Chain A
Amino acid sequence: MLGFAFRRLLQAGIVMVTVALIAFSLFRFVGDPVNQMVGMETSVEQRAALRQELGLNDPVLVQFARFVANAARFDFGTSYQFRQPVADLFARRIPATLELSFASAVLALALGIPMGVYAGLKRDSPLSRLFLSLSLVGISLPTFFIGILLIFLFSVTLQWLPSFGRGEIVQVGSWWTTGFLTASGLKALVLPSITLGLYQMTLIMRLIRAEMLEVIRTDYIKFARARGLPDRLVHFRHALKNTLVPVVTITGLQLGSIIAFATITETVFQWPGMGLMFLQAVRNVDIPIMAAYLMLTAFLFVTINFVVDILYYLIDPRLRVDQA
């Protein structure tokens, strides 16, 4: 067991270093950060001095080594545009992203599961067909387009919901801010979480529907029916429960991507989270933020994969064979 975990850990480490290398070398071609930091009239000498101070004149390998060593200590340096430690900036933006991700995950589950169950049980009803065609829209339309569409319908035309921002936020504890406690904060959550959650909802719905169709055909459901159990019990106690295993796995993995790829939704809704900060950083060639974001995302996925691997190992005895 320990050996297995250790090997997986080593692999995770290799992945992280690879990502760091990619991040580092990619960002070297994004543009000259110096031009983004200074005004038009800054003299050539000042610019040169700045390059020197930022260490942009050092050999690439030296710059990379410095980057990795610092990243390991969760020190991603100072943002070029905000001139604050990147770690602090991320800490301040994390609550917004996590709340948005949480809300959209809840939304995706709360709507996706019932819709999937219904579509699985009544596969030929008009409503099921509607769900299916709707889900096709959800999968095929790009996120930013859905966001803009929702803004124009619910903000501009109906004027029900805000088109940008988090609304009023409340400070909870020393560094967490939440929009869950105010009316405007909750209202501000609606459109972005629909936008972000739509794809996941579709995915969950289709998954449940397929699993449901499968399970309904199995013998134990037939026997349950034969025993005269009420439909509700058969559908939810017996059928749904058995469809949930793959759903849970997928949802867990998808949560990672919700958090990591909230970028587009955050940009469309000017949601002040990590994704928005990342895109602002791209515009301004703020390399420390971009690098940190990429590393953080990689870390998130590596961690999730690691946990999943370990869980599978614990669950499935067949995996242990190759180790012996």
Chain B
Amino acid sequence: MTATPVGTESALVIAPMLVVLVAAVGTLLLGQRPRARAAVSLAGGAGYAIAVAAIDWYIVLAPDAPGIATYQVGDWPAPFGITLVADGLSAFMLTMVAILGIASLVFSTRHLPGGEGRSYYFPLFHFLALGVTGAFLTGDLFNLFVWFEVMLMASYVFVAYSGGPQHTRAAFWYVTLNLLASAVFLLGVGGIYATTGTLNMADLAQRLADPAAYGLEPVPVVGLLGLLLSVFAIKAGLVPFQFWIPTAYRAAPPQITALLAGATKKVGIYAIIRLSFTIFAGAEIAVDLPLPFLDVAIAGDSPLPFVGAALFVMAAGSILLGGIGAVGRDSMEGVFAYSSIGQVGFIAIPVAIAATAAGPGLRKFAIIAALVYALNHTLAKGLLFLAVGTVRSATGTSRFADLGGLARRSPPLAIAVFVGSLALVGIPPLSGFFGKFLVFDAAARAEAGSVLVLLLVGSLLTIAYATRLWNQSFWGARTDAVEAATVDSVQVAILVALAVAIIAVGIGFEPVYQFAETAAEAALDTEGYVDAVDPQSASELGGSNGGDH
């Protein structure tokens, strides 16, 4: 093993992980000094944002950027060692997490949720970010499992954080469900290892594309991909795996719920996109599955149509159940939790369209739509959940029965929430407009009439619950709780900043679209991915049997 110097780009790939790890350990050591702890935490958040921005620019967006960079841990070559990969898709996801993470972090320094474990709040926060970052950057299926666990362990504690009876109960079911999902994840990973003989994603893509050369039978991979898909659907909260969301989101502190909805859900979406399109798309498996009720004929020569069919059903269920559920809730976070289920359906629909798309043009366009919608969801939901936190710390409640007249009490808060709600509904010129527009456009281009109807129904439901929430808590007569409220100005400033970000994305949409396009291209570029991770074996393809250097 020769010690090759680590290039700048390679170093950049691990930079965000190192920064959050140092921040996590640092805040752990400073547990007894609240001010130093908050300062280290904020510095860590800023460092993380800088590292992610550097990845965005030097690896993805700069004119002479390579588009993809890898870091081989311990300098072991690709299929044997652990590989970390940063490409357009990872960078896009990391950017969303960085924006929301900073907002949530600053919010947390203003208002730490109560409880016995205050000194563990920031370390856990950073470990959650570490897990999410690792999941976005890993190029190895088993490591994806490990990073999922890192992310989940922190989130378990956060769900139980407040320590009341309903919190511990919610946490118990959340833990149970996710432990089961972890076992299923292991089954999928083990099966894929037995079928293909590798867990490195690039190696996997390569072997599946040319099964004859490696002497493997790709058909079982479809079923194993189904297992993995169900695990990722649990993380993303798609129907029928949505039942944990309302209780867990109500139990966790609001600024963490913003992260759960904005970041960890996106890990599920990311894993679905990465595995389906970059890794498994090349597997040659003849498929013929007519689905007349969805206006889509499922046929092709890869596992993608199965993924598409499953996602269509799950997304349709999510949009309807989430939308209808949100209309009837009696508290702000209840509405947003159910709305979160519905909005993830809006992200999954274009992914499903991409999976069943006839041509590469539509496939790319649909993934762009999914990514833009995901960005909108992260910004808008982040803002709205943080707003729940602001309202709760100001009035002590978030139940509609105790709220009313908030608009007059704090106009900036009301305006920020208004912008966030409109972004969910999809009003121009906000980010939500382009998200919705691209999703509808993708459905129209796929000529899927029933999907268009579904999207329309989902949008109408969004308008219904957003209006109801507005009427119940921001208009009307002031209640006692609102009358006595003291609204924290820094918290409101964070909300306003996020609202400005939503408007800025909408007005300056061109660069955002280009970033999403780069990300979608990276998601579909299996060859580029394999080349970057494992250049040696890629050049050997067709020659030796692989794996015997």
Pair from one complex: no
Q: Hey, which bits of chain A sit against chain B, CB under 8 A? A: none
Which residues from chain B sit less than 8 Å from chain A, CB to CB? none
